A and B are shown apart, each in its own frame.
Chain A
């Protein structure tokens, strides 16, 4: 049945599936695992770094990107896209432009929800256009708004977006989500170090080579973004 209705994005199957969108969600599962956790005073994004070729410059393989960096207030809206790299680059560029355009127009930085809605709307447009295919990416978007409350949103190729307390995307995301469901408690996220440990432990459930390939990005309220890689992780993880 699927083969007759999965060639074009603009065709529904008789039982209501948009197969190209569902196949785009399979493309997301080919990317490495990413986890996002929203604590009371902290947001954490963790990702499995992929192994790069010997001659490839590792600095050009960026996974966690700041969509907007407010220099005077030291806030940031962080995102991680999982799925097709090229699609991620295109969407990040559009989102960065939108952040600046919003600031110029209304003289206020974007809220996390605003930029998430922008990205989700962009993705949805590509599920309804002839001659185009959906973006093969899911995103985790984190940050603090003006009111000081931490936010975590997730978008997927269909253009839906939802707020989460903790979520995972990419390969073996289900296993990580199940771990988070068991271990995410209000106590666990009340302290910053506990939230960071939870992100590391969640990733260690599925990361193939132990802690060596984990990269973290941390934003605490009113503090600038901090990035951590495997050299500093053992100290963070051992504080338990």
Chain B
């Protein structure tokens, strides 16, 4: 190990090959206890889809059980607040299931008594048109759980005659551009779509070399592989917690085909959104 000028400790490359080989061999030997611990951890991190009312697991994937023509997925608290106030407020939505998962950032244990502020992943369909689905995902789905989540929701052989819309947020400092972040008009929207999505987006497409991360990326990749038309609307903002201006930045999506017909009363929705904001959390003492 060596210390750099700035005080970081980094592993110095070792030219004496024999030392490293011995260490690696020791690491490869796995005891039965290690195997047991690994299996327990895998069971704990399993993604389960269940119905909260009956407390039973779904035996098949969600979209195999319920046919779907339109699926809107909100990932992150600002996207969830947007759908809650503008879309869910305009119709009667029935809960069809929820995804229970555990990881270091999302330690949900009790699935029956959930408050509206709990980090969770809930699925709804529109009572007047059960082919329209909505997902509110405010928990973090870790990398090793994303494929399981996709399988449990879409199944191993998804139908292609549906359209997926994903809404999510990202911090503006992740946006790679030659301009300085201070001059960017944040919050702003960018879109990324699969090859089979033929409609136009309501905002510019995401420029290279920017990439999408986490669950939204997993869903888009899955849709691209299975040739499902899907579009992701990504809002770059400098306020990642629940924020009125960030949520309102999603408003251009209301005029797209994805959400047309699902939103009825926009002024009332704005009032509901303001009420959601007033129940915000106590601010940290670190920042004034």
Contact = CB atoms under 8 A, between A and B. Distances in A.
Contacts of A197: none
Contacts of A25: 182
Nearest to B8: A7
Contacts of B283: 32, 50-51
B287 A30 contact: yes
Contacts of A210: 274, 278
A84 B282 contact: no
A27 B280 contact: no
A233 to B, nearest CB: 17
Interface string B260-288: 00000000000000100110101101111
Contact of A8 (B6, B186, B239, B277): B6
Contacts of A83: 287-288
B203 interface: no
Given A26-B173, A29-B238, A88-B288, A209 B278 contact: yes
A103 interface: no
Contacts of A171: 238-239, 243
A170 B162 CA distance: 43
A71 interface: no
Contacts of A88: 288
B131 interface: no
B288 A84 contact: yes
Interface in B155-198: 173, 180-182, 185-186
Nearest to A213: B278
B285 A85 contact: yes
A63 B182 contact: no
B244 interface: yes
B6 A174 contact: no
Nearest to A25: B182
Interface in A19-77: 22, 25-27, 29-32, 50-53, 63
Contacts of A63: 288
B245 interface: yes
A30 B283 CA distance: 10
A175 interface: yes
A92 to B, nearest CB: 11
Size bracket of the B interface = 20 to 34
**Dominant SS at the B interface?**
loop
Given A84-B288, A206-B245, A7 B6 contact: yes
A209 B275 CA distance: 8
B280 A85 contact: no
Task: From B180, B274, B285, B287, name the one whose CB has the most chain A CB atoms within 10 angstroms.
Answer: B287
A219 interface: no
Interface residues of A, number: 31
B282 A172 contact: no
A208 interface: yes
B228 to A, nearest CB: 36
A135 interface: no
Nearest to B275: A209
Interface string A75-111: 0000001111110100000000000000000000000
Contacts of B180: 22
Contacts of B280: 51, 208-209
A31 B287 contact: yes
Contacts of B6: 7-8
A93 B185 CA distance: 35
B157 to A, nearest CB: 41
A93 to B, nearest CB: 15
B227 to A, nearest CB: 37
B132 to A, nearest CB: 31
A63 B282 CA distance: 16
Contacts of A53: 282
Contacts of B245: 172, 175, 206
Given A206-B245, A208-B244, A174 B286 contact: no
Contact of A84 (B8, B186, B286): B286
Nearest to B180: A22
Interface string B220-253: 0000000000000000001100011100000000
A80 to B, nearest CB: 9
Interface in A151-195: 171-172, 174-175
Given A26-B181, A63-B288, A208-B274, 11 more contacts: A26-B238, A31-B287, A31-B288, A32-B288, A50-B283, A84-B288, A85-B285, A137-B288, A172-B243, A175-B245, A206-B245
24 contacts: A7-B6, A7-B8, A8-B6, A22-B180, A22-B181, A25-B182, A26-B238, A31-B287, A51-B282, A51-B283, A63-B288, A81-B288, A82-B288, A84-B288, A85-B285, A171-B238, A172-B245, A206-B245, A208-B243, A208-B244, A208-B274, A208-B278, A209-B277, A209-B278
Which 8 interchain pairs have the tightest Cβ spacing?
A50-B283, A85-B288, A208-B277, A30-B287, A209-B278, A31-B287, A7-B6, A53-B282
